[in-house]
Amino acid sequence: MSLLKRRREVSDEEAATDAVRFVDERLGIAPLIRAGMNYLFPDNWTFLFGEIALYAFIVLLITGTYLAFFFDPSTATTTYTGGYAPLHGVQMSEAYNSTLGIAFDVPAGLVIRQTHHWAALVFVVAMVVHLMRVFFTGAFRKPRDANWLIGVTLVTLGIVEGFAGYSLPDDLLSGMGLAIAYGVVLSIPFVGGQLALLIWDGNFPGSSAFVDRLFIVHVFIVPLIILGLIGVHLAIIMRQKHSQFPGPGRTERNVVGTPLWPAYTFRALGMLLATAAVLFLLGGLVQINPVWQYGPYEPWLGTNGAQPDWYMGWLIGALRLMPGFDFTIGDATIAGNPFFGGILFPGVVFTVLYLWPSIERRITKDKRRHDLLDRPRDKPWRTAFGSAFFTWIFTIFVAGAADRILVDVGFPYEGQVIFFRILALVLPVVVFIAVYFVCRELKRSEARPLRHWYGTVVRRADDGSYEEIPVEIDPDGGNGNGTRPTKEEKVGGE
Amino acid sequence: MKSRSPRGELVVVGSLLAAGACAVAFVLLYIFDSHNTQLLGLSLGLALVFLAVASVVAGRKVVDQRKGVEERPVLVQEDVEKEVAERAVALREGVSRRKLIVGAGALAGAGVGVAAIAPLASLGPGNVSETLKASPWKKGVPLVDDNDKLLSVDQFEVGSWTTAFPQHADKRALGSAIVVVQILESEVLKNPQWAPRGIMAYSKVCTHAGCAISLFRYPTYEPTSQPPALVCPCHYSTFDVRKSAEVVFGPAGRPLPQLPLAIDANNNLVAAGNYDGNIGPAWWGVRKGT
């Protein structure tokens, strides 16, 4: 019995060696595979957001390819005869017609389309949360400042990609969104008119070339750039190796973590599958963007309470809150509200994000390399600034839903605009002050109000008696060797 | 060999079997009930859930859990940096007309660069002002509804509104769609000559961001200080129809262009001229000419 078992094991190894030899003889990459297997991932739950974004993107590529087999990006008019009776006989574009076809006539088409849409929402939200994690833990500092720029670029591209995607079906909602985008482009000083006509190939709603352009941007150009940048993003991470939180045995010079093979491979695969599972469950069970209810878009149609996908909400909010005046010199109009809200506001936000590593380097005069992360409390002013900054954006985001608050709750719109204007100016200041002092106090006292359970462990001794041992349970667990990080180690990067 | 986690192994096997069963259920649904979106999503989602459970349990319980420590790569190697920089500069050795070559190269680069992007000019934009200001309306063009029927003044009463288009024109052109409203003649405070019987027409395209004006707020029943107004549903730009659609609230920077109306011999509405301003969202030349 034991002889048989041993023989089988040996032959396993031999088979594996043969397989590796087969690859190595042709590519010579055994050392690379070894390095990959040994690559260490420091464990922390906050590192998962970037992974979720990556996996959502994979789901987007797969479901998007499926949809592209059935979608027809054409403005040619047709009369609807498909599976949704209420629209029978309605004149519509082939784009809208084929979108309805995916929903009602292609087997399993709707579940794929809804999963695609949900994946887009999750993709952007995961990137944004990942960006916040990187911000508040100081992971953007040298040497990761280069990767921060790529990350911020990926967020902008994700928003552009999402907007292009939900503009394609040519339903009423997507048409209204494109009208606003057209207004925003027109408002760009000096070149807005040229640019808008260039993009739309004429006056809004554009020629038949426009939907072709939108399609190629959505299914080829932007995804290709995103894919390439994700590749660079990950390559840089692998070159620099993961950052890690301070803890026992962790220094600026080393990485403590779980190797890619075997444990982390299965964990990461599990995360990919879990992300896909949630997206397909949402796609099957939770309706999203029911375009058949909106009807086809015509430039003279509009509807009250229309809301875009969530990642456009902050821009809609800015259009709502910015005062309505055109900036004129003589009879030349330089810019108006769509410019302030639709270009200037996101411009300021992304400029701050792009420049933040340099701004912080200039303030702190800290040019050293950092591989140990800060806890948010370790840098009260950074955490306070970030909290205020994101609060500012979030307040404007909520103001984007003012029309739904009017329609659903009944709060007068005019009053809401004034309220949100004041809130967008006051709330960030309040948040800055509050967060600054909370962080300073936490840093001073080293209290961990959300992390610790103070209690006792009861242990049975050898003689049968029981003893009580007071302990602090640290769910973080350090590196699992049972020692508690000392204060010096935790502060680490300071 | 001693198992690290016999229970974990069982969970993995059970989850894999469950995943397979859910996947089979998905295929059966696809064959027999292919439009049942909920069950399709549920079966596929659950198959993935079970696979995820199997994978995570395998990764956290079944396989080797040892952690590792490794040194970070040193990124800065000063001697190599110096060597690379020196090699880069060594390009100049034995070359005398450096500036000339660089200049010629820059010239060639600029020329080829421009040639490469020049075809992009085919995209347009053509005559910007003319395109953006295009309007199918002129004096005498009859108003029709979305079924191409002429609009008679008898269809209107105070407080009513409708969408209209120029006869025999492209309805989708941005300059085409107008909103026609009727208010009391005594309420018309500006340009009464364009509003026979209090019936007036405005471009339906919001001057803020190009959405269709599709709300008419006419305070018929309750006493209110608000004027009768056209409202854009996108960002609630509000235009006072008594005063040629002056902006009374919201982000719009200009009034809606008004289309002068007249009544022809058959009691139908016709345009008495073009808009009194340029239609659509603002661009640099929106206030220049009409």
Residues B142 and B166 in one domain: yes
Residues B119 and B158 in one domain: no
Strands A332-335, A40-41: pairing is unpaired
Write out chain B residues lying below 8 Å of A186, CB-based. Answer: 132, 210, 280-283
Q: B172, B256, B159, B235: which is closest to B199 by C-alpha?
A: B159
Please name the residues in contact with A479: beta carbons below 8 A apart, sequence gap of 6 or more.
A247, A248, A249, A250, A256, B67
Task: Name the closest residue on chain B to residue A401, using Cα atoms.
Answer: B235
- Tell whether B121 is within 8 A of chain A (Cβ): no
In this prediction, residues B190-195 reach a mean pLDDT of 95
Tokens standing for A85? 């009776």
Residues B246 and B136 in one domain: yes
Per-residue pLDDT of A393-447, as tens digits, reads 999 999 999 999 988 898 889 899 999 999 999 999 999 999 999 999 999 887 7
Tokens standing for B58? 């395998």
- Buried b / exposed e over B58-89, threshold 16 CB at 10 Å, is bbbbbbeeebeeeebeeeeeeeeeeeeeeeee
Residues B266 and B151 in one domain: yes
Residues B114 and B151 in one domain: no
Tokens standing for A352? 């701050």
Question: Can you give the pLDDT at residue A7?
Answer: 56
A337 contacts B251? CB cut-off 8 A: yes
Tokens standing for A470? 């007071």
- CA separation (Å) from A457 to A448, A460, B33? 20, 10, 56
Distance CA B113, CA B119 (A): 11
pLDDT of B8 strictly over 70: yes
Tokens standing for A395? 């307040």
Q: B11, B281, B264, B290: which is closest to A193 by C-alpha?
A: B281
Distance CA B150, CA B154 (A): 11
Distance CA A438, CA A377 (A): 8
Per-residue pLDDT of A250-259, as tens digits, reads 999 999 999 9
Share of chain B above pLDDT 90, in %: 81
Write out chain A residues lying below 8 Å of B280, CB-based. Answer: 183, 186, 203-204
Read off the pLDDT band of B50 (50, 70, 90): very high
Strands A91-93, B199-203: pairing is unpaired
Residues B142 and B265 in one domain: yes
In this prediction, residues B183-202 reach a mean pLDDT of 94
Write out chain B residues lying below 8 Å of A255, CB-based. Answer: 69-72
Structural domain contains residue B118:
yes
In this prediction, residues A76-103 reach a mean pLDDT of 95
Distance CA A185, CA A195 (A): 7
Write out chain B residues lying below 8 Å of A37, CB-based. Answer: none
Distance CA B276, CA B272 (A): 11
Write out chain B residues lying below 8 Å of A328, CB-based. Answer: 287
B215 contacts A304? CB cut-off 8 A: yes
Please name the residues in contact with A45: beta carbons below 8 A apart, sequence gap of 6 or more.
none
Are A204 and B204 within 8 A, CB to CB? no
In this prediction, residues A307-333 reach a mean pLDDT of 92
**Amino acid residing at A188:** I
Residues B148 and B266 in one domain: yes
Question: Can you give the pLDDT at residue B225?
Answer: 63
The whole-chain average pLDDT of chain B stands at 92
Compute the nearest-CA separation of B104 from chain A (Å): 32
In this prediction, residues B105-110 reach a mean pLDDT of 97
* Residue where a domain stops, chosen among B93, B108, B123: B123
Distance CA A180, CA B281 (A): 9
Element of type H or E holding A333: strand A332-335
Pick among B27, B67, B123 to test the A interface (most A CBs inside 10 A): B67
- Tell whether B30 is within 8 A of chain A (Cβ): yes
Please name the residues in contact with A97: beta carbons below 8 A apart, sequence gap of 6 or more.
A72, A78, A80, A82
Interface A–B counts its CB contacts (< 8 A) at: 294
Which B-chain residues 101-120 have CB contacts (< 8 A) with chain A?
none
Write out chain B residues lying below 8 Å of A198, CB-based. Answer: 123-125
Question: Can you give the pLDDT at residue A487?
Answer: 43
Distance CA B66, CA A272 (A): 23
Per-residue pLDDT of B222-249, as tens digits, reads 555 678 999 999 999 999 999 999 999 9
B124 contacts A198? CB cut-off 8 A: yes
A285 contacts B65? CB cut-off 8 A: no
Compute the nearest-CA separation of A440 from chain B (Å): 31
Distance CA B178, CA B57 (A): 64
- CA separation (Å) from A442 to A41, A215, A487, B86, B219? 28, 51, 13, 51, 57
Write out chain A residues lying below 8 Å of B49, CB-based. Answer: 273-274, 277, 281
Of B65, B72, B210, Cβ closest to residue A254:
B72
CATH number of the domain to which B191 belongs:
2.102.10.10
Residues B147 and B172 in one domain: yes
Of B52, B209, B215, Cβ closest to residue A183:
B209
Instruction: State the alpha helices, DSSP H only, in A145-171.
Output: 145-167
Residues B12 and B113 in one domain: yes
Question: Can you give the pLDDT at residue A331?
Answer: 85
Are B290 and B275 within 8 A, CB to CB? yes
Task: Name the closest residue on chain B to residue A243, using Cα atoms.
Answer: B72
Question: Can you give the pLDDT at residue A477?
Answer: 46
In this prediction, residues A39-67 reach a mean pLDDT of 96
In this prediction, residues A121-148 reach a mean pLDDT of 97
In the numeric block, the tokens 């020329």 are attached to B111
Which B-chain residues 241-260 have CB contacts (< 8 A) with chain A?
247, 249-254
A196 contacts B52? CB cut-off 8 A: no
Compute the nearest-CA separation of A22 from chain B (Å): 26
Of B70, B204, B281, Cβ closest to residue A338:
B281
Question: Can you give the pLDDT at residue A484?
Answer: 46
Task: Name the closest residue on chain B to residue A302, using Cα atoms.
Answer: B212
Name the more confident of A491 and B227: B227
* Sequential DSSP letters for B262-277: EE-TTSBEEESSS-SS
Compute the nearest-CA separation of A94 from chain B (Å): 16
Distance CA A275, CA A125 (A): 13
Are B62 and A262 within 8 A, CB to CB? no
φ, ψ (nearest 5 deg) of residue B8: -60, -45
Residues B106 and B171 in one domain: no
Write out chain A residues lying below 8 Å of B163, CB-based. Answer: 300
Write out chain B residues lying below 8 Å of A203, CB-based. Answer: 131-132, 134, 173-175, 280
Write out chain A residues lying below 8 Å of B233, CB-based. Answer: 302-306, 403
Which B-chain residues 151-190 have CB contacts (< 8 A) with chain A?
163, 165, 171-177
A108 contacts B30? CB cut-off 8 A: yes
Pick among B55, B235, B237, B239 to test the A interface (most A CBs inside 10 A): B235
Task: Name the closest residue on chain B to residue A113, using Cα atoms.
Answer: B37
pLDDT of A2 strictly over 90: no
A325 contacts B67? CB cut-off 8 A: no
Of A176, A201, A300, Cβ closest to residue B124:
A201
In this prediction, residues B50-79 reach a mean pLDDT of 93
Beta strands in chain B (DSSP E): 68-71, 143-144, 161-166, 178-182, 199-203, 215-217, 229-231, 238-240, 246-249, 258-259, 261-263, 269-271
- Domain range holding B235? 130-271
pLDDT of A341 strictly over 70: yes
Side-chain-facing half-sphere of A2: CA atoms under 13 Å: 1
Pick among A2, A91, A273, A421 to test the B interface (most B CBs inside 10 A): A273
pLDDT of A471 strictly over 70: no
B67 contacts A403? CB cut-off 8 A: no
Domain covering A39-374 in this structure, CATH number: 1.20.810.10
Are B53 and B10 within 8 A, CB to CB? no
A182 contacts B251? CB cut-off 8 A: no
Compute the nearest-CA separation of A437 from chain B (Å): 35
In this prediction, residues A353-370 reach a mean pLDDT of 95
Compute the nearest-CA separation of B81 from chain A (Å): 17
B123 contacts A266? CB cut-off 8 A: no
pLDDT of A8 strictly over 90: no
In the numeric block, the tokens 């107008």 are attached to B178
Distance CA B22, CA B20 (A): 5
B210 contacts A204? CB cut-off 8 A: yes
* Residue where a domain stops, chosen among B123, B143, B163: B123
Write out chain B residues lying below 8 Å of A35, CB-based. Answer: none
Write out chain A residues lying below 8 Å of B249, CB-based. Answer: 414
Please name the residues in contact with B121: beta carbons below 8 A apart, sequence gap of 6 or more.
none
Compute the nearest-CA separation of A433 from chain B (Å): 32
- CA separation (Å) from A29 to A21, A22, A23, A334? 10, 11, 8, 59
- The neighbouring-strand residues paired with B258 are B202
Hey, where are the domains in chain A? 2-37, 39-374, 377-447, 449-494
Number of domains chain B contains: 2
Task: Name the closest residue on chain A to residue B54, using Cα atoms.
Answer: A270
In this prediction, residues A66-84 reach a mean pLDDT of 95
pLDDT of A478 strictly over 50: no
Of A193, A267, A300, Cβ closest to residue B204:
A300
- Buried b / exposed e over A216-247, threshold 16 CB at 10 Å, is ebbbeebbeebeeebeebeeeeeebbbbbbbb
Question: Can you give the pLDDT at residue A493?
Answer: 37
Are A244 and A490 within 8 A, CB to CB? no
The neighbour count for residue A451, using CB atoms within 10 Å, is 11
